[in-house]
């Protein structure tokens, strides 16, 4: 099976390319570095020629409301048009658990718009909705920090390792289109403030974390479990504690001389 991964040089896409090639498929990354621009459409037809599956794990370079909506709608339309022209038979897209339940967030509205375009395209498709990645815990804390204090929502999350997300996307790419959504998530529900607090503690980060039910997340307020997957979701087995234990920055800290810590 020939597979093109849009955003294939990023955190998820690079792993998807590696996994697919390791399982007997032929997968290539499509990105601006390889001459593919999904916003202008440049290089799409050439990249998709001969492909059976297109996997879209790309992300907007700007999270401003208008920018992110323009990115996902324009990029998705251009990909779907190129797929029709070149005969691609399966479109796989990575989306976000809870996007449709949080319309106050411009970013999540853009992901809903992307999903709608795919559904209405007539193309055979699979949408994988994932929960937040463990890898972004520190970044979430950074965005919420003022004067050494990170104020974060107490809403529940069910985060997962990016490696597990990549495996789920790769499985979808190698399977028959489902014509709908599949949700994936981690094994544990964790309040967002606790998620970041654990990450800071693992890095010996001195910042204080405060839980506030009114603290915004991507421009919206969480009221409970909007960011957790449905009951029929596929859950990964990697816990946050297991993921932390495997990170290089933890290993480096634990082996460093005491005076250097």
Q: Under a CB-based contact definition with an 8 Å cutoff, are residues 174 and 242 in contact?
A: no
Residue 128's beta-bridge partner residues?
94, 182
SS (H, E, C) 65-128: HHHHHHHHHHHHHHHHHHHHHHCCCEEEEEEECCHHHCCCCHHHHHHHHHHHHHHHCCCCEEEE
Distance CA 214, CA 112 (A): 23
2-6/26-30 β-pairing:
parallel
Helix, strand or coil, per DSSP, at residue 19: helix
Q: Is 9 helix (H, G, I), strand (E, B) or coil?
A: coil
Helix spans in the chain (H)? 13-22, 44-48, 65-86, 106-120, 137-143, 162-173, 192-202, 240-245, 248-255
All structural domains of the chain, each given as residue ranges with its CATH number in brackets, are 2-260 (3.40.50.720)
Structural tokens at position 38: 């999904």
Query: What's the CA gap between 151 and 144, in Å, rounded?
Result: 6
Instruction: Going residue by residue through the chain, which has 261 residues, state the pLDDT in tens, using 9 for 90 and above.
Output: 999 999 999 999 999 999 999 999 999 999 998 999 999 999 999 999 999 999 999 999 998 999 999 999 999 999 999 999 999 999 999 999 999 999 999 999 999 999 999 999 999 999 999 999 999 999 999 999 999 999 999 999 999 999 999 999 999 999 999 999 999 999 999 999 999 999 999 999 999 999 999 999 988 999 999 999 999 999 999 999 999 999 875 543 433 333 332
Q: Is the pTM of this model over 0.95?
A: no
Residue 111, both tokens: 């992901």
């Amino acid at each position: 099976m020939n597979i093109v991964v849009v955003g294939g040089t990023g955190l998820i896409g690079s792993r998807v390319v590696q996994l697919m090639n390791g399982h007997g498929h032929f997968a290539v990354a499509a990105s601006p570095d390889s001459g593919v621009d999904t916003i202008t459409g440049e290089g799409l037809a050439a990249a998709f020629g001969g492909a059976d599956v297109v996997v879209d794990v790309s992300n907007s370079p700007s999270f401003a409301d208008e920018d992110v909506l323009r990115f996902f709608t324009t990029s998705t339309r251009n990909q779907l048009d190129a797929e029709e022209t070149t005969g691609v038979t399966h479109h796989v897209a990575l989306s976000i658990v809870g996007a449709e339940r949080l319309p106050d967030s411009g970013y999540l509205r853009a992901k809903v718009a992307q999903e709608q375009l795919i559904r209405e395209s007539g193309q055979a498709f699979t949408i994988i909705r994932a929960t937040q990645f463990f890898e972004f815990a520190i970044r979430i804390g950074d965005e919420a920090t003022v004067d050494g204090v990170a104020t974060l929502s107490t809403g529940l999350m069910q985060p997962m390792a990016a490696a597990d997300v990549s495996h789920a996307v790769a499985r979808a790419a190698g399977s028959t289109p489902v014509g709908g959504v599949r949700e994936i998530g981690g094994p544990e529900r964790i309040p967002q403030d606790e998620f970041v607090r654990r990450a800071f503690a693992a890095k010996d980060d001195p910042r204080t974390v405060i839980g506030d039910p009114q603290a915004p997340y991507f421009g919206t307020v969480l009221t409970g479990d909007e960011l957790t997957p449905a009951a029929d979701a596929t859950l990964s087995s990697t816990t946050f504690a297991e993921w932390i234990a495997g990170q290089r920055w933890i290993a480096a800290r634990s082996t460093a001389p005491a005076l250097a810590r």
